[in-house]
Structure 1
Amino acid sequence: MSYDLQAVIAVEETLRVVSRGLAAARPASVGQGLALVPMTYALFDAVADGSGMGASGFRRLTGGFEQTLARWSEAGPVAYVESEYFGGVGEQRAVVWEGGAVVLGPLHVDEGEPFASAGSPVSQALRRLGAVARAGRDEFSAVGLDRHRHTEAWIA
């Protein structure tokens, strides 16, 4: 089985306000007051500005969209995450902006690497946004990011 997620995550109200002018941005509620905007192909096409990919190693995060996320973070912390797995093997990347600057990351765990003692990159980003792990669960599952297996399923 596979899992892939490429998304912007923030406090629900913040994300709805800052993404309002971007028609391809479709916020979906997750747990603990957070929401995500899936980085669909339509959104990627809408935010790609020809400047090429950002320097942080993400697959779908363009340099121009990094600047947009920095601006969005003036209203509250904003994370961009990517997680891809197939058969239990994969990778994660995460970065968080707040007040216009990167405050966490970019973090990454490549295929075959263990998570840091602080947790997976996505869980660390979620924690920075205020998510709280529950007994026996990390922040990733506590907010329900395991609800859908593919990015596009969040807008269905």
Structure 2
Amino acid sequence: MGHHIQGVIARSSVVARIAQDFPGAEVVPLEQALLWVPTPEWLLDAIDETTRGDALRTPITGEHVYLHFVARYLEQITSRDVAMYFETDYFGGLGAQSAAVYRDGVLVLDAGRASRPGPINAGLALLGVLADAGRDAFDTVGLQHHRRMPHDR
């Protein structure tokens, strides 16, 4: 079975800003007071339009699928907060994941595409997630229940 999701995970203050900037954005509650804003194509296009021409303060290194305009937007909305952009793309046990965490407008985790588990769990830890005994942070917040983007259902 496949797993393909992407979006921004943050606490309510950041998500409120996203909802204000993009009124059609869907918000999915997760455990430990986190919220996930899936980023379907229309939202990525809207973010691109909003940030077009803005300079990226922190260069992105490594191999990433997410686009520089997402990075510019996260720099802007985390000036006094923290948020993570993440992606998963697995099918039949093969695939990769990536995560980037911005705190106070600065890139603090740049975990490019990795075939082994880790980048998303590392990012969730920076968001303050405490993994339950015997579970990783990904499962603790409930992301294992979301195998596809909401609009793909």
User: Do they superpose with TM above 0.5?
Assistant: yes
Paired residue secondary structure (1:126)? helix
Contact 2:98 2:119 in 1 (8 A): yes
Q: 2:64–2:112: 8 Å Cα contact kept in structure 1?
A: no
Q: Does 2:31 match 1:31?
A: yes
Residue by residue over 1:24-71, the C-alpha shift from the partner in whole angstroms, topping out at 9 and shown as x without a partner, is 4222111100001101111112112467xx855332x33222111111
Q: Which amino acid aligns with 1:107?
A: A
Could you tell me which residue of structure 1 aligns to residue 111 of structure 2?
Answer: 107
Output the amino acid matched with 2:87: E
Q: State the AA in 1 paired with 2:33.
A: G
Give CA-to-partner distance per residue, 1:111-151, whole Å, 9 cap, x none. Answer: 3xx44xxxx10011001001111111000000000111102
Give the TM-score normalised by structure 2. Answer: 0.84
Q: Which runs of 5+ in 2 are unaligned?
A: 54-58
User: 1:24 touches 1:42 (CA, 8 Å); kept in 2?
Assistant: no
Q: Cα deviations across residues 86-128 of structure 1 (Å, max 9, x unaligned)?
A: 0111101001001110111x113533xx44xxxx100110010
RMSD between superposed Cα atoms in Å: 2.1
Contact kept? 1:92, 1:109, Cα under 8 Å: yes
TM-score, structure 1 normalization? 0.82
Q: Percent identity?
A: 29
Q: Which residue of 2 aligns with 1:92?
A: 97
Listed as ranges, the gaps of 5+ residues in structure 1 are none
| Bigger share in helix | 2
**1:127 is matched with which residue: 102, 125, 142?**
125
